[in-house]
Amino acid sequence: MKILVAIKQVPERDAQLSIASDARWIEEDGLNYVINEPDAYALEEALQLREQHGGEVIALCAGPDRVTSTLREALAKGADRAIHLASDTLGTLDTLALALVLADAIRSESPDLILTGLQSDDLGLGQTGVVLAELLGLPHSTLVLHVEKTATGIRVKRELEDGWFQHIDLPLPAVLTIQSGGNKLRYATLMGIKKAKTKETRTVEAATPATPATVELTRVFLPEKQKQTQMLTGSPAEIAAQLVEKLRSEVRVL
């Protein structure tokens, strides 16, 4: 089975973030970057499938030159080869435009299975995988915790709400977005790091999307810290009614 894993490089979770001078994104100088956590679980799922059924795992990552460090990590963990979609402007693209770029690169590989993480740690939109499936015209499933090869395709285990799970049979090729926590992530061994140096990493210039970005990120900001105390008065029933109304209309948790 030929499995392609689309991964993203993001700032590490405990990084000290500051807003860039134009307030359109974070200041990236001096940050350490790592593989997006849900994508790491997608890679692990791909590696386990290959170990059980054979084939190859291809790691694909789009971005500037720095993303090659994330691709090397994927190779060190066991991916067979890597593709770097080189571009310094992908950060300006919205989900549709980025998915068009990824789809263009994936078509030439014709993989049996395409895996992505459920969402990215930086933007958290959770859209790229399903948009990619639509562009490629492939069946897809989301929130996947486990993938099992069957005689007719694959069976996936999906996580639903309230502790429920769903099992779905899909034909191949297909696109899956993988939920974090389904497997235990492996570390790159010393032997794996050495082997990664000899594995193929192909650099391809990212294609210009046919559809330009239609969504623009105009401002990011740190959450404002504020404290406010409100005293509710009346009978217990009146106070309870006021509290419920505030939770519904102001806090919006009901």
Structural domains for the chain: 2-205 (3.40.50.620)
Position 207 scores a pLDDT of: 85
What mean pLDDT comes out for the span 55-76?
Answer: 95
Query: H-helix or E-strand containing 100?
Result: helix 95-107
Strand partners, 56: 2
Say which residues have a Cβ less than 8 Å from residue 25's Cβ, sequence separation at least 6.
Answer: 19, 91, 217, 220
Position 110 scores a pLDDT of: 95
Q: What is the pTM of this model?
A: 0.84
Position 17 scores a pLDDT of: 82
Query: What distance separates the 2 farthest-apart alpha carbons in the chain?
Result: 75
Q: Are 133 and 173 in contact (CB under 8 A)?
A: no
Whether 129 shows a pLDDT value over 90: the answer reads yes
Give 51-54's long-range contacts (Cβ < 8 A, gap of 24+).
52/149, 53/1, 53/149, 54/1
Q: Are 221 and 23 in contact (CB under 8 A)?
A: yes
Residue-wise pLDDT tens digits, 203-231: 999 888 777 777 888 888 887 777 778 88
